[in-house]
């Protein structure tokens, strides 16, 4: 059975291959992120993500962010709003400070090409038509030609909470100038299946247009979701869930559960979390390796899934084909 769209793709400007799993750092929900990053930066390998918002307000030290092979630099849109992403189980109050395009560009202009950098376009507060979003992003990226471009596509009106997939597909060739095409997970659909279907449809449209642009799903790092969306044609995944759960053996669990099941119940909670964070980074490397091997062989055993999880993924993929053929 090979009805999947998972394959190795490349970030054009960098020549870097996918899949890429990106542990993110943010002050939103993690006010002590500076200490976390300083401790864990030695364990970062392939990629990491920081935001210009956190650099501006010195939640992260700019000289310490170049530890991974690829550095994704986000626009600060996530930190600018109070709303949390789909993996946030706490919903802590967040009171954002001032953030605008000028502050974003101030921080981008300070970036040093010490490592490969992928820059995300500025996420404006007000919604706008897709053509306007694209032209604004092109203007941003033209100022920083040394960085790879990651275009974050957003809803086209303030009344919409999801992206307009039909509009994206209709204008798919307009994305050709960008090295990466990005969407936030929560804006791709109201269910796992809807999100998977929309990724599948966008990947099909890119392929039909002769484009092999990697798709970046922002705010998605749950191992099983990553595997599903990879099979649907997505390539780059980032998120904060690796700082919220243990990923041991690919199954997210609360850190209390992780503490008990791993005999760490006498350790201080903060120590347990740091041990868990380090293990999570290793788990993400292993997941990337499994996805890479699978993309080369289409051998489903390479995914290392339980029988039930594999069956569920196959059911989803089968339903995606049915849905697509009926359009």
155-191 tens-digit pLDDT: 999 889 999 999 999 999 999 999 999 999 999 999 9
Which strand ranges, in their side-by-side order, compose the sheet holding 20-23?
20-23, 236-239, 215-218, 180-184, 148-152, 116-120, 70-74, 47-51
- pLDDT interval class at 81 (50, 70, 90): confident
* Mean per-residue pLDDT, 89-111: 82
pLDDT for 324: 75
Helix axes 307-325, 192-208, angle to 10 degrees: 60
Q: What is the pLDDT of residue 3?
A: 80
Residue 19: is the preceding peptide bond cis (ω within 30°)?
Answer: yes
For the chain, the straight-line distance linking the first and the last C-alpha, in angstroms and rounded, comes to 22
The distance of Cα 193 from the centroid of its chain, to the nearest Å, equals 18
What band does 94 get if pLDDT is binned at 50, 70 and 90? low
The pTM is what? 0.94
Q: What is the pLDDT of residue 87?
A: 46
Please report how the helices 223-231 and 192-208 are oriented relative to each other, as an axis angle in degrees rounded to 10.
40
Residues 157 and 135: their CA atoms lie apart, in Å, by 17
Residue 86 has pLDDT above 60, yes or no: no
Residues 6+ apart with CB under 8 A from 105: 122, 140, 143
- The pLDDT of 12-37, averaged and rounded, is 95
List 106's β-bridge partners, or say none: none
Mean pLDDT value across the chain: 93
């Amino acid at each position: 059975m090979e009805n999947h769209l998972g394959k190795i793709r490349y970030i054009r400007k960098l020549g870097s291959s996918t899949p890429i799993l990106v542990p993110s750092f943010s002050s939103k929900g993690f006010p002590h992120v500076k200490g976390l990053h300083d401790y864990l930066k030695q364990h970062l390998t392939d990629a990491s993500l920081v935001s210009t918002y956190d650099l501006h307000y010195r939640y992260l030290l700019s000289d310490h962010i170049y530890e991974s092979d690829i550095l994704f630099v986000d626009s600060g849109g996530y930190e600018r709003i109070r709303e949390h992403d789909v993996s946030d189980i706490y919903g802590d109050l967040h009171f954002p400070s001032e953030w605008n395009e000028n502050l974003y560009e101030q921080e981008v202009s300070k970036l040093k090409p010490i490592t490969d950098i992928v820059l995300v376009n500025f996420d404006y507060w007000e919604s706008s038509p897709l053509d306007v979003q694209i032209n604004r992003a092109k203007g941003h990226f033209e100022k920083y030609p040394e960085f790879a471009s990651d275009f974050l596509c957003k809803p086209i009106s303030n009344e919409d909470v999801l992206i307009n997939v039909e509009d994206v597909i209709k204008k798919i060739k307009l994305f050709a100038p960008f090295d990466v095409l990005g969407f936030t997970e929560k804006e791709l659909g109201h269910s796992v299946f809807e999100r998977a279907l929309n990724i599948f449809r966008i990947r099909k449209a890119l392929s039909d247009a002769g484009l092999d642009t990697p798709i970046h799903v922002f705010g998605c790092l749950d191992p099983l979701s990553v595997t599903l969306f990879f099979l649907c044609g997505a390539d780059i995944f980032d998120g904060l869930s690796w700082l919220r759960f243990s990923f041991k053996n690919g199954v997210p669990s609360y850190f209390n559960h992780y503490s008990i099941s791993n005999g760490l119940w006498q350790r201080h909670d903060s120590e347990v979390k740091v041990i868990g964070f380090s293990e999570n980074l290793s788990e993400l490397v292993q997941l990337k390796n499994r996805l890479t091997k699978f993309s080369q062989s289409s051998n489903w055993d390479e995914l290392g899934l339980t029988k039930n999880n594999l069956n569920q993924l196959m059911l989803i993929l089968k339903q995606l084909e049915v849905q697509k053929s009926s359009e």
